Structure 1
Amino acid sequence: MRYLHGGDVYRDRVEYDFSININPLGMPQECVKAAKEGVALSSARYPDYRGEALCRAISAKKKIKEDYIILGNGAAELLYGLCQFLRPKKGRVAVPSFQEYERALVSAGAELSAWGLQEGDGFALSPSFVDSLQGGEEIVFLCNPNNPTGRVIEREQLQRIMIRCEETDTYLCIDECFLPFLGQERENELSVMQELEKYPHLVILRAFTKIYGMPGLRLGYACTANFSLLEGIRGVLQPWNTSIPAQMAGIAALQCDSYLTETYELIAKEKKFLLEELADGLAEKIYLSEGNYILLKSRRDLKERLLEKGILIRSCADFRNLSEGYFRIAVRRHSENKELIRRWRSLN
């Protein structure tokens, strides 16, 4: 299987990794401590295969019913489980977007129905998208904010899409993994987690990976009010799919409110810095993003040249509807961002 993502720091000399959209603050120390305690417990017991303590903590934090939640070894495992259970003949993805939606569909034998986001619209989802949903696909995947573009789908548009999917008996999976980076107020505006009971075809994906800086622990969850769908997904997942350290780190993470505030403030400040620097002769074009990452156009050999300088960025040439010369960079701490800009400017 060809690796299609960022974060491959194992085959090159990488000092600064801007290819993955992970919280630059790193994992909260409360989570590190909890994970270490989980390692000690792991010698004597299996994980709780349903992760009930973590599900209770998510339920209390997100104000949704505990039995709407299913845990996964990262959100990616759950979208694969969703497709393996549903076995759709065709699935819709608005592209460019996270490539695992397509791979999960194909792995389940489905045909991809790709809806091309237009560069002239800044890769925003057009209002005509909802009209195109006529029941020809059994499932639709949307990412909010989208990856790699960083564009969001506003609540009013999401509402129309959710209604249309119910009318056409179409499952709708909305990936909200990057939403917490936008700050609590904006997250509340855009999240549809409180709409689950109104829309039985709705599935929401969330991950601890990005916002809590724990990609190596692998922890995510899906939520839906559709109990037959939940049980179907459980039926295709392996038991004990989330480890004791991951579950305990997740419980600790949900108590780290000040960490989230610090994250949002850092991302807002540092993205402004990066945008100003990129616009000063580095990027050919910069696209509007509300995410903790920036999509841009630049010289085609940028990734290779920066890698020579010890910096890894994400080439977006392998995303559907993008090509050579498109790149995504994550927003990091100020010292790292300054080093990225310094080494970038040193390229001849």
Structure 2
Amino acid sequence: MDPDAVDGVERVEHGGKTGVLDFSANTNPESPEGVAEVYQSALGAARSYPQDPPAAFCEAAADYVDCASNAVVPTPGGLAGMRLAMEVSLQSGDSVLLPAPSFGEYSREVRLQGATPVFVDHDAILDADPSEHAMVIICHPNNPTGEVYDDTALRAFAARCRDHDTVLLVDEAFLDFTDHPSLAGENGVVVARSLTKMFGLPGIRAGFLAATGTTRERLGIARQTWNLGAPAVAVGEYCMGRREFVEQTRQRVRTERERLTTELGEQFDVFDSDAPFLLLDVGERSVDRVLEATRAEGIAVRDARTFRGLDSHIRVAVRLPSENDRLCEVLGDV
């Protein structure tokens, strides 16, 4: 991190909403059965330093994304992993290509390294020239628009990045809601994953990076020792082995997303999505009025104006069927 850059970067406060039906966060409303017992049983192990690196966790992560276990670098969540990837890859003054609209923390983290974010339309980023940038960041599927990138095109872009020694950092926070393969293990690519979205456990703070070659070596050296506690290691290993839960979640999200797209599409312009959320253009309505109306009914939706380039949009998560019914009922009266 560049100490001189810190004073020029603002901090955006984040936190879950309580006391409401929360459609503003994209986390799974369900978690695998047995998680509480695994967490509880790991508390005894927390009286000792955990194994570092946690071998069983790394093996579970490698199996989950289909890469070699020695490619895995454990991190306390996906965002912490992305910061680590930037710390070992960027120097002050470097240029980083970012999609827009997309997750706002990317540009903040880039600026903290003293590097400069350069924005390109999210649906045109695979056509961009990576040669002038030290790093390219891709959100796959993209947040908040929800679409995945074509696998062949994405791997071809990764090859172009590799040819120019440009690091490709791929945030796969929502990829396990789809049937698309991970880029974990692809040379020149750093993949970031977490337990936050699929397993509905943002407070656990467990995730990992996957990388190869010199980049993997640098990540392993720079990673903080004991950066995952024993409960996070145990819960992460357990969750990543729950394949039936993942498949059931995918099916539910797919079915409910299609239903929400149809029902909400009667009033709003709904973006096509492969993710567990939908981006809605509210048109001539006031976004503030929509936010106030839903909040009055005990529902929180995401003000998508916080994403670069969006000015009349909200984002809603795909939750459980009865909860989605309630969302449609409330938005139907806005």
Task: Pick from 35, 38, 62 the counterpart of residue 34 of structure 1.
Answer: 38
Can you list the C-alpha shifts for 1:144-199, whole angstroms capped at 9, x where unaligned? Answer: 111110111101211221111012110001111211112xxx223xx3235x2xx2
How far apart in 2 are the matches of 1:321 and 1:3?
18
Query: Contact 2:134–2:166 (CA<8 Å) still a contact in 1?
Result: yes
> CA shift at 1:18, angstroms?
0.5
Equivalent position to 1:221, from 208, 232, 250: 208
For each residue in 1:225-277, what CA deviation from the matched residue of structure 2 results, as whole angstroms up to 9, or x when unmatched?
A: 12x32343344443222111111011111221111121011111111221122
- Name the amino acid aligned to 2:192: L
Please give the root-mean-square deviation of Cα atoms over the aligned residues, in Å. 1.8
User: Which residues of 2 match residues 105-184 of structure 1 at below 5 A?
Assistant: 105-117=110-122, 125-126=123-124, 129-182=125-178
- The amino acid of 1:192's aligned partner reads L
- Measured after TM superposition, the shift of residue 288 of structure 1 is 0.9
Which of 179, 194, 197 aligns to 1:210? It is 197
State the 1:73 CA deviation: 0.8
The question of whether the paired residues in 1 share the 8 Å contact of 2:60 and 2:241 is answered with no
- The one-letter code matched in structure 2 to 1:187 is H
What is the aligned length?
A: 319
Are positions 1:296 and 2:288 aligned together? no
SS in 1 for 2:305: coil
- Match of 2:24? 19
Alignment deviations for residues 283-340 of structure 1 (CA, whole Å, 9 cap, x no partner): 2x111111110001113121232112211111111111222x2111000001111111
Query: CA–CA distance in 2 between the matches of 1:2 and 1:339?
Result: 34
Q: Report what 1:100 is aligned to.
A: 105
Q: Select between 163-172 and 44-53 the one with higher mean Cα deviation.
A: 44-53
Partners of 2:106 and 2:149 in 1: CA distance: 18
Query: Which consecutive residues of structure 1, in runs of 5 or more, have no partner in the other structure?
Result: 118-124
1:316 equivalent in alignment to 2:304:
yes
Partner of residue 241 from structure 1, selected from 227, 230, 242: 227
Q: Residue deviations 1:115-156, cap 9 Å, x none? A: 124xxxxxxx23xx4453152110000011111101111012
Match of residue 87 from structure 1: 90
Q: Matched residue of 1:240: which SS? A: coil
Partner Cα separation in structure 2 for residue 58 and residue 134 of structure 1: 29
Which stretch has the larger CA shift, 239-248 or 58-67?
58-67
Aligned counterpart, 2:52: 49
Q: Which of 208-217 and 56-65 deviates more?
A: 56-65
Match of 2:251 in 1: 265
Whether 1:69 and 2:72 are equivalent positions in the alignment is yes
Which amino acid is 1:29 matched to? E
TM-score (structure 2 length as normaliser): 0.90
* 2:239 maps to 1:253: yes
Structure 2 gap segments, 5+ residues each:
1-9
Note if contact 2:130-2:166 (Cα within 8 Å) is conserved in structure 1.
Answer: no
Match of 1:230 in 2: 216
Residue identity matched to 1:3: V
